[in-house]
A and B are shown apart, each in its own frame.
Chain A
Amino acid sequence: MSETLGRKLVDEVGRFRKALVKRIRRVNQLTEGEVMSAASGLGKIVDLATQLSAHTKDTLAGVTGEEDQGDVSLADSIAKQSNTTEEFINGLNSRIGEQREVAARAHHQSREILRAAKSVERLSQQSNIIALNAMVEAARMGKYGTSFSVISNEMQRLSGEIKKTNTLVSGLAENLSILLPAIAQMIEQTSDDAEDFSGVIKESITDVRKRTSELQRGVETLLTSNEDSVNKILRESQDALSYLQFQDTVAQGLLRMDAMARKLQVRVGTMGGELMEDTEVQNSLAKEEHAELGGEKEISPEDAGDVMLF
């Protein structure tokens, strides 16, 4: 091969290599840009999904509560309130029962008082008769009966006082015997009302407990599905990341073409004999764009993703 032809070939191959490298760079820039923009979009989707999941968890934490954090859940709080209301209603019913008993006892005692008052009235009448008899006897005894007459007067006055007091007591007892049944009736009415109220409240509590439990189950299901969705998005984004790595393989392949073009350039130069000694030719041999330690061996798809820890 003549020197002129050799130089021509070297120049031609050099131009070819220059054009090739330019194209390789352009293709790499384009694909790399697109791949990075896709990966960035993936990253944003994962961030948004993670943020949304965290926000949902925070919002619903009040319903479920996190025992390890010492939180009180809405469901626990409702259950506690329901128990307190139930205890209060049971206490109210118990108090009403006690009041009913007290009213019944008072009614019975007022009747006893009335009976006692009537018996006292009879005694007062008897003592009055005795006083009148004593007065008759005192008159018959003349001056010897003076002291009897004093006693008889005292007995009459006492009888009068007893009658007066007894009238008051029996009036009071009669009033009580009228009033107490009315009070007892009011207590009965209150007891009936309380029983109705208690029934309604207990029914509501059961309903609230049921609905709270349903709400809690619903929230738990929602949280689980939320977690599942985020994990799915994460898994899919990881898979997508693996697919996006084709760009690196393509880039390496393209750069390998540069290495081959460089070898061709050297070989053409060598064919020209002493041409390779020429400084101008040496200078036209740019370095490889990407020197590789492993040569041109392709990685088989089965080996891709392998992790070896030493």
Chain B
Amino acid sequence: MKKVLVVDDSPSVRQQVGLALKQAGFEILEAVDGVDGVAKIDGDPNIGVVICDVNMPRMNGLELVETVHRKPQHASLPIVMLTTEGQPQLIQRAKKAGAKGWIVKPFKANLLVAAVKKLMPA
């Protein structure tokens, strides 16, 4: 089973995303910020998709995308930003860094699941 890594500093958001994706049959891993997220990605080759917040302490979500995609082994890892932000310049920056999607909180569980299913490698 492919894993989904949920990176968010809010425990309740991690729990809510986890519940929605678990119900759809995915295995969930959690990270509390960007630094933790990068470490989890480096440590588990079975992570198929990353759902990542933007505003987080230590390392924000956009820095995570840039850091992860600089590493050749993770260059094609799909990362979707899940955030309360919606500024076009941020979305553009995420896109440029290689993020695969942008979801505005509060998310709709069925749309989030559909996006993960679409991006999850076979």
**Which of A33-41, A67-75, A135-143 forms part of the interface with chain B?**
A33-41
Enumerate chain A residues within 8 angstroms of B74, measured Cβ to Cβ: none
Interface size class of A (residues with CB under 8 A): 35 or more
A1 within 8 A of B: no
Which of B106-121 touch A at CB < 8 Å? 106-112, 114-115, 118-119
B45 within 8 A of A: no
In the assembled complex, the Cα of A209 lies from the Cα of B66 at a distance in Å of: 67
Interface pair A306/B103, CB less than 8 Å apart:
yes
In the assembled complex, the Cα of A139 lies from the Cα of B55 at a distance in Å of: 153
In the assembled complex, the Cα of A270 lies from the Cα of B55 at a distance in Å of: 28
Using a Cβ cutoff of 8 Å, how many contacts connect chains A and B?
Answer: 129
Interface pair A299/B85, CB less than 8 Å apart:
yes
Please encode chain A, from 117 to 142, with 1 for each CB lying within 8 Å of some chain B CB and 0 for all others.
00000000000000000000000000
B68 within 8 A of A: no
The residue of chain A having its C-beta at the shortest distance from the C-beta of B119 within the complex is A309
A5 within 8 A of B: no
In the assembled complex, the Cα of A36 lies from the Cα of B8 at a distance in Å of: 14
Enumerate chain A residues within 8 angstroms of B84, measured Cβ to Cβ: 248-249, 252, 294, 299
Of B9, B23, B90, which contacts A293 at CB under 8 A? B90
**Which of A76-84, A89-97, A145-153, A236-244 forms part of the interface with chain B?**
A236-244
Please encode chain B, from 51 to 72, with 1 for each CB lying within 8 Å of some chain A CB and 0 for all others.
0001101001010000000000
Interface pair B104/A299, CB less than 8 Å apart:
yes
A290 within 8 A of B: yes
Minimum Cβ distance to chain A for residue B71 (Å): 20
The residue of chain B having its C-beta at the shortest distance from the C-beta of A32 within the complex is B12
In the assembled complex, the Cα of A310 lies from the Cα of B112 at a distance in Å of: 14
Interface pair B62/A244, CB less than 8 Å apart:
no
Interface pair B103/A293, CB less than 8 Å apart:
no
**Chain A residues proximal to chain B, CB less than 8 Å:** 32, 35-36, 39-40, 42-43, 46, 50, 234-235, 237-238, 241-249, 251-252, 290-295, 297, 299, 303-310
Interchain residue pairs A-B with the least CB separation, the first 4 = A245-B106, A238-B109, A294-B85, A305-B108
For the A-B complex with A46-B23, A304-B105, A307-B102 known, give 8 more contacts whose Cβ atoms are closer than 8 Å: A237-B19, A241-B20, A245-B106, A247-B12, A249-B106, A299-B104, A305-B108, A310-B102
